[in-house]
Amino acid sequence: MRKMLLAVAAAVVIALPGAALAQAPIVIKFSHVVASDTPKGKGADKFKELAEKYTNGKVKIEVYPNSTLYKDKEELEALQLGAVQMLAPSNSKFGPIGIKEFEVFDLPYIIPTLAGLRKVTDGEIGKRLLKLLDSKGMTGLAYWDNGFKQMTANKPLHVPADYKGLKFRIQSSKVLEAQFRALGAVPQVMAFSEVYQALQTGVVDGQENTPSNIYTQKMHEVQKYMTMTNHGYIGYVVVVNKKFWDGLPADIRGELEKAMVEATAFANGQSAKENEEALEEIKKAGKTQFIIPTAEETLQMRAAMEPIYKDMASRVSQKLIDEVTAASGGGAGH
């Protein structure tokens, strides 16, 4: 009897951790670099809400906003190493890990409208680009919008000559580097979390970003001028660690995919509004003077940037540039 009791006790001891483990939720760490109150931040929070609901709490999504866990470059490395499971880096951030094709979205004026963008991302081109992520140990799940970039500096920017010699913070993209060089400016790659301080201390003179990013990082408090150039687009690819994703039970993965489809519709349905509201807040703060470029000034900007399309063709692929311009209706020369 004593022997039997001991055996039962041992079985319980052995079984317990397993039982406890079976109850423990699968944790997905979702790291990102922007504030919660932005298109991406809201998308991440919506995904958390839906994913936890659809899996009945079997999955727990931990969202780490505002570079609290990792900065731009580190977060991609962390994902590949499995230290986090989910990210939504901007298209411009995939070059350094060897996927240069996403820089096609950085070409100035290539995405004229969100409707044009959808024709690219929702169609065959978008699917093909996501497939490229597989070879880097990632699975691309969705495209999320931010919006259109505006230029800021402490001097008024109208035409290319105004950019000459100014230092501009850029994301880690060779196309963005070429863009500022074409304007006669000096581009400097910098993590998003460092931009405010770099502008404040004069390490750089200006930067390009969407109103929601400018407002939530308070960049407008240290930049006197904002030119409404709408010259480029910032959007994101939601990526997961491929091994982790493929290893999930199929039913759980299915629920997460459903949550992602809905979170994407939610995020993309309100990104434009988020940026309009941020613009209003920047105006209200009264620290920034707005410049609306004239048609002639815009023509000059487009003309200065048009050669980048040829210069970057060997990096990004001429075929891809042609396909994206055809689908989006954009291009510098339009």
Binding site for ligand LMR (CB under 6 A): 33-34, 40, 90, 146, 171, 192, 209, 213, 234
Beta-bridge mates of residue 227: 151, 291
Is the CB of 68 or the CB of 135 nearer to ligand LMR?
68
Distance in Å, CB of 58 to ligand LMR, minimum:
29
State the Cα–Cα distance between residues 140 and 88, nearest whole angstrom: 9
Is the CB of 102 or the CB of 163 nearer to ligand LMR?
102
Is the CB of 31 or the CB of 55 nearer to ligand LMR?
31
Is the CB of 28 or the CB of 198 nearer to ligand LMR?
198
Check: CB of residue 278 under 8 Å from CB of residue 125.
Answer: no
Distance in Å, CB of 182 to ligand LMR, minimum:
19
Q: Distance between alpha carbon 309 and the CA centroid of its chain, in Å?
A: 22
Distance in Å, CB of 96 to ligand LMR, minimum:
13
State the Cα–Cα distance between residues 188 and 167, nearest whole angstrom: 7
Kindly tell me the burial class for residue 83, based on how many C-beta atoms sit within 10 Å of its own C-beta (0-12, 13-18, 19 or more).
middle
Distance in Å, CB of 149 to ligand LMR, minimum:
9
Residue 21, phi-psi category: left (phi > 0), alpha (psi -120 to 50), beta (remainder): alpha
Strand order in the sheet with 138-148: 59-64, 26-31, 86-87, 233-241, 138-148
Is the CB of 168 or the CB of 192 nearer to ligand LMR?
192
Distance in Å, CB of 223 to ligand LMR, minimum:
14
Check: CB of residue 151 under 8 Å from CB of residue 223.
Answer: no
